[in-house]
Structure 1
Amino acid sequence: MKQLLFVSLIGVLFFSGCSESKPIDYAKNETAEQKAKRMQWWKDAKFGMFIHWGGYAQLGGVYKGDTINGIAEWIQFYKKIPAEEYATAIKPFNPIKYNPEQWAKLARNAGMKYLVITSKHHEGLAMWDSKVTDFDIVDFTTYGKDVLKPLSEACKKNDVKFCTYHSILDWHYAEAKGDSFPLYRDKILKPQLKEILEELDPKVMWFDGEWIPEWTEEQGVELYNYLRNMKPDLIINNRVGKGRDGMQGMNKEGAYVGDFGTPEQEILSNASKLDWESCMTMNDTWGFKHGDSNWKSSKTLIYNLIDVVSKGGNYLLNVGPTSEGLIPQESIDRLTEIGKWLKINGEAIYGTIRAEHYKEGQIIRYTASKDNNTVYAISLEWPGKTFSIKNYEPEENSKIYLLGYAKPLSWDYNLSNGLIIDIPDELQLSENWPCQYAFVFKIVGQANELAA
């Protein structure tokens, strides 16, 4: 059995470099151009899958017959369960129906370009075969197998970039709070992160739990540099430090470490030039919870994706698998619908940039091609016989298309009325629509300088 040996700290120990050469201070010395190149795949991807899965799935939000009011993965906190008692409760975790290939294919078919899974949530259980501690899924739970390694391999096979979530907060180890925190940081947190980078090769490290008083911005900077010296192209969210300003997720004023903002369960009210990613659930909880049937509709989820992308962000949509290793059918159904929509309209999502005008009224959103010569006008309802906008002027004699319909559409433009696109009679029956929920018009042209 693996042993975790705690030794006394002599003086103040902190992160050492990962090689004999002098570590690079990426937090200070990376240029804007270098960062833009490193972030480009992520900015082009737009849509990812978040997976909250751990020992808490064994409980499903219920402990000793009592269903908690809060989110399932926080049951240890809400019920004030001592660490040893909680560990006993989740030990039977045995996801015998887990199929990483199916998960990766589900993400791919939903149009998700990357996947972020909890390597360790606040409960402290490592979801891979950690050599640092026995409190991992292989050595501690009934299942006895690594779940992250096969998922990382399945993601590579299905062209989905594999990424990991990791909590700085830890409820399992007594050393993870108070004056002993440096011991936990140097003997558990840092070595386990090193394992993840070396064994699983994640493209993004998505931190959480940074709000604890033991964690500081200085430690965040050190950790950011430590990880990037091991893997220079790694992308790390802003929760590695202390910059996040509440659930709205963007950084407070000042210089803080991290590559992108992380709004949680909300979408920015306006467009932003900064890199950001909105993480949201399909129902009310992140981890699986019995009885949580408050599912958002496919229409709402697609609207969220469009709204996020039009404002310059990424959309990280969560699933919470069961203790058996199954993603709920309600999640699968919604992801299937999103995938159908993206198969027709993905051109307006992937690899696009924030348009000069990101919205017009309440039902129109815009994205643009990287060269800004093409704009995608997205109507959040069927427009009827004509579709009218005033924010963009088509190039003279250009063709306008409704994505999913092969023929070009007739149109007229003048300064007073703007652009009016005629929609053929054959499309007025809903069964003839190219897709459901939202409709994309591809226009070659430029922003109208007179638009409000």
Structure 2
Amino acid sequence: MTMQPWFTEAKLGVFVHWGIYAVDGVPESWSFFGGDLTREAYMKQLGGFTASRYRPEDWARLFARAGAKYAVLTTKHHDGVALWDTERTELSVAARTPAARDLVGPFAEALRRHDLRVGLYFSHSDWSHPDYPTVRPSSLHRPWVDNRFAMPAPGEEEPERWEHFLEHVHRGQIRELLSRYRPDLLWFDGAWERDERQWRMKELREEILERRPRTVLNGRMLGHGDYATPELGVPIVPPEGPWELCYTIGDAWGHQPRDTGHKSVTELIRVFTETVGHGGNLLLNTGPREDGTIAPEHADRLEGLGRWIRRHQEAVHPTERGMPYGHHYGPSMLSRDRRTLFLVCFDPPRRFVEVRGLQNAVRKISVLGTGEELGHRVVGGFPSRRVPGVVRVDAPTLCDPHATVLALELDGEIELYRGHGAG
């Protein structure tokens, strides 16, 4: 599977969870699936979803200022409510809410005007369509999956209805998204409720790429996606190939007024640099209100992250995965030619910053954002056996309030020592 270069170079995307769940500020889809409220009460929110202040141009400008290169909109969550005027079901904001229009097209158009790639989230699951809960998977690998919104009772399967759903609704709506909006990325979710063969995932991938060959597909396709999608925490051991961390600014995905646990700009920069240093992208989530406005607390944090990225642009674009942890106490990134090493320091160094296992000589060290040049010395090592000493870099005079980045220019492409030392 060949990854499109733009994706691995992007580093930051914005995830947008927007739907009728923002009207009452309840968890998206899960609130009726888990029984916190009835499906009827959940669907009453259709009457309050207005999108009256939806300005996708403002969204796109904000995302660009945040340093994002793409954004992903939830076109249909597990509740089955489409944000576009789908011809496949009657359950859409265009047909059933005061918004009364397509919300996906303006999103895609605004992103492209600001040179942002278009990502569309689509849930395989549909807990509202009558033909969805008609077959059971070969095994239930999550206990809470056996729910009447998702599964028929044992012995009550109707395979012909499942085939109708799969072709007419599932594949039909994906075809609509592809033909109408030409997404650069399809971000799937909800695949856990059936097995790979029931979803026809291999065939789905082939059809998507036949229609739009350069579409990037996320990993939630049961083995047929292009990259891994961990969420809510930087992996201790990062995936080998391309990957993306989806992460919330607060604690919730969709807008919930009670969600006040907003992460600070410093926390988000830490997660961002740890992700990029491990070779991934950060997909940072915001949940707009029902009227289409983004909460000031979320906008402020996106703006703050963007200011930090602009000050430290060299360490972000274009760079690649840095050193494994242990060589430096923090994330690191490498320039594309692998001759400049960027060290991220979360805490202001008191006397020096250490780099261990660096075989290269260091030509110059400077602080991104201030340009201050720093001295260094090499301590210890066993040169005759090619065991390098520890590079100790003098502490900078001024440190960034969020995270300081040091640029080490090397005498060639980076070479690391990974042995146990000379005995």
TM-score range, shorter chain: 0.7 to 0.9
Q: Aligned residue for 1:318? A: 285
- The reply on whether 1:56 has 2:21 as its aligned counterpart is yes
Q: Rate the CA distance shift 1:257–1:215 in 2: closer, same or farther, 3 A.
A: closer
What corresponds to 1:345 in structure 2? 312
Structure 2 residue 7 is the aligned partner of structure 1 residue 42: yes
Q: For 1:117, what is the secondary structure of its paired residue? A: strand
Identity across the alignment (%): 29
Instruction: Please give the alpha-carbon distance, in whole angstroms, between the structure 1 residues aligned to 2:95 and 2:286.
Output: 25
Aligned-residue RMSD, C-alpha: 2.1
| Structure 2 residue runs without a partner (length 5+) | 135-157, 382-388
Report deviation, 1:344. 1.0
* Contact preservation (8 Å) 1:91, 1:141: yes
Residues 450/358 of structure 1: CA separation in 2 closer, same or farther (3 Å cut)? closer
CA contact (8 A) 1:47 1:315 kept: yes
Distance 2:419 2:333 in 1: 16
Secondary structure, counterpart of 1:164 in structure 2? strand
Q: Does 1:96 align with 2:77?
A: no
Partner residue in 2 for 1:148: 104
What is the one-letter code of the residue matched to 1:382?
P
> Does the CA-based 8 Å contact 2:372-2:396 persist in structure 1?
no
Preserved CA contact (<8 Å) 1:357 1:447? no
Contact 1:377/1:441 (<8 A) preserved: yes
Shift of 1:387: 2.4
In 2, distance between residues paired with 1:105 and 1:128?
A: 22
**Once structures 1 and 2 are overlaid, which stretch shifts more, 379-388 or 340-349?**
379-388
Does the CA contact (< 8 Å) of 2:322 and 2:331 recur in 1? no
Helix, strand or coil: the match of 2:4?
helix
The answer for the alignment partner of 1:206 in structure 2 is 187
Offset of 1:349 from its aligned partner?
2.2
| Structure-2 residue corresponding to 1:327 | 294
2:139 corresponds to: none
Aligned to 2:336: 370
> Taking structure 1 as reference, are residues 391 and 86 closer, same or farther at Cα in structure 2, changes over 3 Å only?
same
Partner SS, residue 388 of structure 1: strand
Could you say if the C-alpha distance between residues 424 and 364 of structure 1 is closer, same or farther in structure 2, counting changes exceeding 3 Å? closer
Q: 3-state SS of the aligned residue for 1:151?
A: helix
Indicate the residue corresponding to 1:123 in structure 2.
Answer: 79
* 1:384 aligned partner: 350
Alpha-carbon distance in structure 2 between the residues aligned to 1:186 and 1:82 = 29
- AA at the equivalent of 2:60: A
Per-residue Cα deviation, 1:312-357 (whole angstroms, up to 9, x for no partner): 2111110011112111111111111111110111321233221243
Counterparts in 2 of 1:187 and 1:272: CA distance versus 1, 3 Å: closer
Structure 2: distance between partners of 1:448 and 1:259? 29
1:444 Cα deviation from its structure 2 partner: 2.0
CA contact (8 A) 2:62 2:299 kept: yes
Distance of 1:372 and 1:46 partners within structure 2:
18
**Paired residue type of 2:332:** Y
Aligned residue in 1 for 2:361: 395
For 1:178-257, what aligned pairs fall within 5 Å after superposition? 178=134, 179=158, 180-213=161-194, 216=197, 219-241=200-222, 256-257=223-224
The residue type paired with residue 155 of structure 1 is: L
- Per-residue deviation, 1:409: 2.2
The DSSP-based 3-state class of the residue aligned with 1:149 is helix
CA apart distance, 1:166: 0.2
1:360 deviates by 3.7
Structure 1 residue 449 corresponds to structure 2 residue 384: no
Q: How far has the Cα of 1:215 moved from its partner?
A: 5.8
Return the TM-score normalized by structure 2. 0.85
Query: What are the residue-to-residue correspondences of 1:3-82 with 2, within 5 Å?
Result: 35=2, 38-61=3-26, 71-79=27-35
Deviation sequence 1:47-71 (CA, Å, 0-9, x none): 110011111111211xxxxxxxxx4
Q: Which one-letter code corresponds to 2:244 in the other structure?
A: E
Corresponding residue of 2:149: none
* Shift in alpha-carbon separation, 1:310–1:359, aligned structure 2, 3 A: farther
Give the counterpart letter for 2:306 in structure 1. Answer: G
Displacement of 1:382 in angstroms is 1.1
The amino acid that maps onto 2:337 is D
Q: Secondary structure at the match of 1:48?
A: strand
Aligned partner letter, 2:15: F
Tell me what 1:27 maps to: none
Query: Which amino acid is 2:173 matched to?
Result: Q
The CA distance in 2 between the partners of 1:191 and 1:450, in whole Å, is 52
Which deviations, in whole Å up to 9, do the C-alpha atoms of 1:197-250 show, x marking residues without a partner? 111111110110101136647611111111111001111112122xxxxxxxxx
Rate the CA distance shift 1:108–1:192 in 2: closer, same or farther, 3 A. Answer: same
SS at match of 2:324: strand
Q: 1:194 to 1:210 in 2, by over 3 A?
A: same
CA distance in 1, matches of 2:126, 2:236: 32
Q: 1:127 to 1:218 in 2, by over 3 A?
A: closer
Counting matched residue pairs gives 385
8 Å CA contact 1:271, 1:358 repeated in 2:
no
- CA change 1:373–1:217 in 2 (3 A) is farther
CA distance in 2, matches of 1:208, 1:307: 25
Which stretch shifts more, 163-172 or 438-447? 438-447
Secondary structure of residue in 2 paired with 1:321: coil
User: How far apart are the structure 2 equivalents of 1:164 and 1:200?
Assistant: 9
Instruction: Confirm whether residue 259 of structure 1 aligns to residue 226 of structure 2.
Output: yes
Question: Secondary structure of the residue that 1:332 maps to in structure 2?
Answer: helix
SS in 2 for 1:239: coil
Mark the CA change 1:222 to 1:81 in structure 2 (over 3 Å): closer, same or farther. farther
TM-superposed CA distance for 1:91, in Å, is 2.7
The one-letter code matched in structure 2 to 1:230 is: R
The offset of 1:389, in angstroms, is: 2.0
Output the CA distance in 2 between the equivalents of 1:147 and 1:126.
9
Give yes or no for the alignment of 1:438 onto 2:403. Answer: yes
**How far apart are residue 377 of structure 1 and its match?**
1.1
Structure 1 Cα separation of the partners of residues 196 and 22 of structure 2:
27
Q: Secondary structure at the match of 2:128?
A: coil
